Amino acid sequence: MRDRYQQIKSDSELVQLLDQPERELRRYAFQNVNFTAVTGLALKHSYRECLFLSCRLPMGFKRQSRDCLFLPNMGETFGFPNHLYSPEELYDGYIPDQPSSYKNCYDGRVYRHYLKKGKQRTDIKETLARTLHDHSISDCLQDYLSHFDEHKLVGVMGGHGLSRLDKAYLQVVHFSKLLTESGFLMISGGGPGAMEATHLGAWMAGRTDEELQKALSIMSVAPLYTDPLWLSTAWQVHNQFPNLGYESLGVPTWLYGHEPSTPLATHIAKYFDNSIREDGILTIASGGIIYTPGSAGTLQEIFQEAVQNHYLTFGYASPMIFMGKEFWTEEVPIWPLLMTLVERGKYKNLILCLTDKAEEALRVLRGE
């Protein structure tokens, strides 16, 4: 007897499974696949203790099932994805030279629905639909990250309001480009500011400094995410400089839907529940966190990560790298505070680095 569910997430996987001679299929989890396209094959089998999440099923199908759970598409604007979003899927319907078209793209429609139903949802159907969506995203995220060395997963935390013209923005871009080219998967909250800089650097990995400068020039006409051309200039870079095979992961949320998700992240895990998303970023970035200049949210993340490292929550401590010596020692003096707490034994196991040099950060992340 199979103890764990085997997941079927694509129509090609479904056909391959249904082609096998075994009549009874037991403990399979079918996610967003179309049985109606292969009705004949589907009805040749019986199904026991299976899960069907947002699947298209032919007439009579359920009569051949026993102890199965069926979770249909609930008719909302959004569904239950069986893979992480791509920029093209999230922004399906968006036309870069028509900024107002955002409201009609997939992301815009879901955000309007989210606001209409209420951020703090009370309707049980809406609650269930959002929970199932986020569960699907978490499941897909786990599958995606399983292909990487966990020590190569590096997160970047920092302010969403950071201007594309700011020195710190350019630092993040260069940090991320170097780390991506060195084999790390860069992860951020997937929004504007320092988050976008993370994905711009990863997107331009493998390209020349001249190409990077051209991309920065294109985006400089809309320095802040509140500028009307912020999203369209990011898409211009996306289209003008096709990705060279390097990946990055953005983890945004519709809670902050007024901050556009960057289309420069190759894989996007967008959530409704921000608490799952915030804790998740710190958890999955087990290779280390780079902290760039930020405000209250970034400070919260620093101490949350420090607790995980102190208690070795995941079996080991991950580097905490503070980018911007002046900012972290004078403007927001977190560095001297942490050093004092470490010296007094209030924090243990912390791997700390304060630097303005990408090469030094790389050495720390490599454990050198």
Q: What digits encode the pLDDT tens for the residues 17-76?
A: 999 999 999 999 999 999 999 999 999 999 999 999 999 999 999 999 999 999 988 877
DSSP-assigned beta bridge partners for residue 155: 187, 289
Q: Measuring CA to CA, which residue among 345, 273, 349 is closest to residue 312?
A: 349
- List strands edge to edge, sheet with 6-8: 6-8, 28-31, 51-53, 69-71
Whose structure tokens read 């997941």? 7
Please report the pLDDT score of residue 280 as a whole number: 85
231: Cα within 13 Å, side-chain hemisphere:
26
User: How sure is the predictor about 345, in pLDDT bands with cuts at 50, 70 and 90?
Assistant: very high
pLDDT of residue 227 exceeding 70, the answer is yes
**Contact partners, residue 308, CB within 8 Å, separation at least 6:** 282, 283, 314, 318
Q: Which residue is associated with the tokens 């079918």?
A: 30
Q: Where in the chain is the domain with CATH 3.40.50.450?
A: 87-365
What CA–CA distance (Å, rounded) separates 362 from 368? 9
Q: Which CATH class name applies to 87-365?
A: alpha beta
301-326: pLDDT as tens digits: 999 999 999 999 999 999 999 999 99
Q: What is the dihedral of CA 16, 20, 25, 26, to 10 degrees?
A: -80
